[in-house]
Copies of this chain bind each other. A is one copy, B any other.
Amino acid sequence: MGNTFGQLFRVTTFGESHGGGVGVVIDGCPPKIDIDISDIQRELDRRKPGQSKITTQRQEEDICEILSGVFEGKSLGSPIAILVRNKDARPDDYVDLAKTFRPSHADFTYQAKYGIRNWQGGGRASARETIGRVAAGAIARNVLRRFYPKIDIVAYVAQVHEIAAKIDKVKVKRSDVDANIVRCPDKAAAKKMTQLIEETRDAGDSLGGVIECVIRHPPLGLGEPVFDKLDADLAKAMLSLPATKGFEIGSGFSATRMRGSEHNDAFEMRGGDVRTSTNWSGGMQGGISNGEDIYFRVAFKPTATIAREQKTVTTSRRSTTIAARGRHDPCVLPRAVPMVEAMAALVLCDHALRQRAIVPEK
């Protein structure tokens, strides 16, 4: 009962990695928003498996179909349902998994929680589940652009293992991100990352890293204290993605080593607006956006699926070992970039609608 995200722009995803398909129902999309299926497909293509030599070789075209809620290219205000069929499902590849819990996967916890699981691949815990999120995120982005034409959401790989990129988050463009297969806009770092990912894959191992996201020209006044603060909802959104282990807004953990006199963002007048001279806060105070760039970082763990043999136990509680065969991502970050952007767009879109409902009259 946790498959819906958002209060007004409500996204409900469904589907397992194997079975009929995966998808999403969006309830609360404002009417008369331009909905172009190619906008959705473009984001799904950035997420899809098999897109480069450093991702899993599972072949899924991930072609989406809009089932409802759109008429003559515009949203109707009714629920928008989007479906992507599962194609390259090879349940036979997974027969071993019926009886073995993969380390650091959710096999054991799903079995413990539900007393049953679809052992054909990751089931509901598969990253394939994020297709619905990415599709919904593409629509959320269109809604945001309608209300705030200059808004710009860009995520990128900022670190893979020990390799940290140098990126100017004020200027980085989406085309820079997509210019290489690792989705790191620092070309030199990207090259090293790609090489390290290939070496690690060949060694039967996997890597983690950090994705950074910046939201430029965000609206002022989004966020609903005290629980639905904008940073709180972003944190939840990001930690709900598979393989995430941490979240930082603005200065993040580095703030813990600063003094107030260093960390406070002084206000100043700039271009007729109240602005801050620094932006350690990451674009919000008290959980409400202040109009400065919003930026945050998300930690991803190394992929749990590795080719090396690992100790584990069977469903009948005997010790055994397991080694992944076949197709998996040695590093999830390149494909996680559109997921981070999608979740950011969902959070902002939902909060934009919430603010519209109560916006004070002048």
Contacts and interface: CB of A to CB of B under 8 A. Distances in A.
B360 A357 contact: no
Q: How many copies does the complex hold?
A: 4
Interface string A271-290: 00010110011101111111
B232 A101 contact: no
A30 B226 contact: no
Given A267-B108, A268-B319, A274-B313, A210 B253 contact: yes
Contact of A247 (B235, B256, B264, B300): B235
Contact of A299 (B114, B238, B252): B252
A185 interface: no
Contacts of A192: none
A192 to B, nearest CB: 15
Contact of A357 (B22, B78, B281, B357): B357
A266 interface: yes
A75 B118 CA distance: 10
Q: Which of A235, A287, A289 has the most CB of B within 10 A?
A: A235
A229 to B, nearest CB: 5
Contacts of A242: 286
Interface residues of A, number: 156
B118 A76 contact: yes
A94 B280 CA distance: 26
Contact of A267 (B80, B229, B274, B312): B312
A356 interface: yes
Given A1-B27, A31-B116, A161 B247 contact: no
Interface string A98-114: 00010111101110111
Contacts of A348: none
B357 A106 contact: no
A249 B245 contact: yes
A257 B200 CA distance: 13
Given A206-B260, A248-B299, A274 B317 contact: yes
Given A68-B22, A264-B306, A259 B205 contact: yes
Interface in A225-260: 225-229, 231-240, 242, 244-253, 255-260
Interface stretch (A10-18, A42-50, A52-60): A10-18
B12 A76 contact: no
Interface string A142-186: 000000000000000001011000000000000000000000000
Contacts of A289: 109
B260 A306 contact: yes
A358 interface: yes
Given A22-B68, A220-B112, A161 B257 contact: yes
Contact of A114 (B77, B250, B308): B77
Given A3-B226, A14-B68, A23-B81, 8 more contacts: A1-B8, A1-B357, A13-B226, A20-B67, A71-B118, A161-B256, A209-B256, A232-B240
12 contacts: A4-B10, A15-B68, A32-B114, A101-B274, A108-B285, A208-B258, A260-B304, A262-B302, A268-B313, A268-B319, A356-B356, A356-B358
